[in-house]
Amino acid sequence: MADYDFDVLVIGAGPGGYVAAIRAAQLGLKTACAESRETLGGTCLNVGCIPSKALLHASELYEEAAGGALAKLGVKIEGMSLDLDAMHAQRLDAVKGLTGGIEYLFKKNKVEWLKGRASFESADTVTVGGRTVRAKNIVIATGSSVTPLPGVTVDHDRIVDSTSALELPKVPGHMVVIGGGVIGLELGSVWRRLGAKVTVVEYLDQILPGMDGEVRKEANKIFKKQGFEFKLSTKVTGAETSGEGVTLTLEPAAGGAAETMQADVVLVAIGRRPNTEGLALDKAGLQVNKRGQVDIDHDFRTSVPGIWAIGDVAPGPMLAHKAEDEGIAVAENIAGQTGIVNHAVIPSVVYTNPEIAGVGLTEEAAKEQGEIKVGKFPMLGNSRAKTNHEPNGFVKVIADAKSDRVLGVWIIAVPAGTMIAQAAQAMEFGATSEDIAYTCHAHPTHSEALKEAAMAVTGKPIHV
């Protein structure tokens, strides 16, 4: 290793970075991981996937109890009430347990945690926490952070971002969410279930960009029934905070007369942007692309030999499991193995109730590529969903008209996030819709709806 301190230095300990570091160490490489947060796990474990799911789970149970759904099942709870402090405490507990778990895994695998912000000195030298280290390979896994909205300054009190929206000390009367994407709908759901009126202001003419068109429309209908209000094709041009709350100025996206809207709390959720500030990429000979990302090739190599990039800071969907898979693959490539991520088969899930999940092509994108067949099956026809009083949603399987190979699967169903794994695996194996239709699925399970949607591709479902 000559005068290198490490074979691999990973910058950032999110799902991309910590997984890359652990896999590199497992492969016998001397590995360090630089992380400036007090705890490991990155956005996902500290302020993203995990704390949001802790609140989604708890608020869902609260709504079932408070809204009478449990009483209808014969579960009567007298004098129930919301203990928001306890709900926050269990969220923090979940985060503590999992971030601590990564620290344990680092020790177990002998990954050295370099505490502090890393900054390049040259292509193989980085300073972190006052220490200068040389590494044969450097993996940039610095993740992303909230995109600011000009004119709507986050103060973490009245105007919050996804992090401060997880920590509200009381349920707002009226929450306005700017951005009808994943964060807006998940965190909007949390506070709506706990009693807030929630209005979503979305720039585009429909929520959930990037998802299948039919899924977007159906999701909109379901959320409206739950009490969400939507102002689509609308942009926010300013916000003024006073003791009373926030006055937002809105305009039609296409231009037109302005109006105002009063909110107690405003959540800005218009996307995330890659973290490269302060890294001094130029000293390593690197530049960012137009979207602020570090460009990579198929093997996660940047344009500078020995420097690699993965996760949210690199192109592709900003998802934890995408970052994790890239983390494993990049470590394997560094070790001389063949690490591959199939970017055509990365599932995405919105953890609302019902959940919304998809993998592969939307119907619109598939049609552009050639002739397709589509099979759909409503959750109303699924015995388990019906028994559980979960009538909303459907499964849609999109297949190539000639080869029958599955091109995409879209699901709105309570456990859609779990169901989509089967679809992803089938697609990874190059399955046809017939392969799914003739696979025996346990009864009664929600997953039978996927089997029946696959049967519907060739017109043969049983339960509709």
* Kind plus residue range of the DSSP H or E element containing 55: helix 49-66
Is position 184 annotated in a ligand binding site? yes
Tell me the torsion sign for CA atoms 270, 274, 277, 282: negative
The bridge status of strand 348-350 relative to strand 307-309 is unpaired
Using CB under 6 A, which of 82, 204, 222, 280 touches ligand NAI?
204
Q: Does 415 bind ligand FAD (CB under 6 A)?
A: no
Nearest distance in Å: CB 315, ligand NAI? 13
Q: Does 178 bind ligand NAI (CB under 6 A)?
A: yes
Residues in Cβ contact with 86 at an 8 Å cutoff, skipping those fewer than 6 apart: none
Q: Does 148 bind ligand FAD (CB under 6 A)?
A: no
Q: Does 16 bind ligand FAD (CB under 6 A)?
A: yes
Is position 321 annotated in a ligand binding site? yes
Using CB under 6 A, which of 179, 180, 181, 311 touches ligand FAD?
311
Q: Residue 387: left (phi > 0), alpha (psi -120 to 50), or beta?
A: alpha
Using CB under 6 A, which of 190, 318, 330, 398 touches ligand NAI?
318
Which amino acid is it at 383?
Answer: S
Using CB under 6 A, which of 24, 118, 175, 183 touches ligand NAI?
183
> Token pair of 56, please?
């989604």
Nearest distance in Å: CB 404, ligand FAD? 30
The bridge status of strand 6-11 relative to strand 31-35 is parallel
Q: Does 17 bind ligand FAD (CB under 6 A)?
A: yes
Is position 45 annotated in a ligand binding site? no
Residue 95, SS3 per DSSP: helix
Q: In what order do the strands lie in the sheet with 197-201?
A: 159-160, 265-268, 174-178, 197-201, 229-231
**Phi/psi at 426 (5° precision):** -60, -45
Is position 243 annotated in a ligand binding site? no
The smaller minimum CB distance to ligand FAD, of residues 320 and 361, is found at 320
Is position 60 annotated in a ligand binding site? no
Helices (H), 140-208: 162-165, 182-193
Using CB under 6 A, which of 17, 172, 181, 354 touches ligand NAI?
181
Binding partner of residue 178 among ligand NAI, ligand FAD, none, CB under 5 to 8 Å per kind? ligand NAI
The smaller minimum CB distance to ligand FAD, of residues 323 and 406, is found at 323
The smaller minimum CB distance to ligand NAI, of residues 179 and 375, is found at 179
Cα distances (Å, whole numbers) of residue 372 to 210, 361, 362, 402, 403: 19, 11, 11, 8, 10
From 317, 300, 298, 322, select the one nearest 309 (Cα to Cα).
Answer: 300
Residue 107, SS3 per DSSP: helix
**Phi/psi at 281 (5° precision):** -55, -35
Tell me if residue 156 is catalytic. no
Instruction: Please tell me which residue in 156, 298, 389, 443 is annotated as part of the active site.
Output: 443
Q: Does 347 bind ligand FAD (CB under 6 A)?
A: no
Q: Does 44 bind ligand FAD (CB under 6 A)?
A: yes
The smaller minimum CB distance to ligand FAD, of residues 142 and 362, is found at 142
Is position 296 annotated in a ligand binding site? no
Q: Does 319 bind ligand FAD (CB under 6 A)?
A: yes
Task: Give the residues across from 246 on adjacent strands.
Answer: 241, 263
Binding partner of residue 179 among ligand FAD, ligand NAI, none, CB under 5 to 8 Å per kind? ligand NAI
| Site size with ligand FAD, rule: CB under 6 A | 36
Residues flagged as binding site for NAD(+): 179-186, 202, 271
Residues at the interface with ligand NAI (CB under 6 A)? 149, 178-184, 186, 201-204, 209, 235-236, 269-272, 317-319, 348-351
Which residues are known to be catalytic? 443
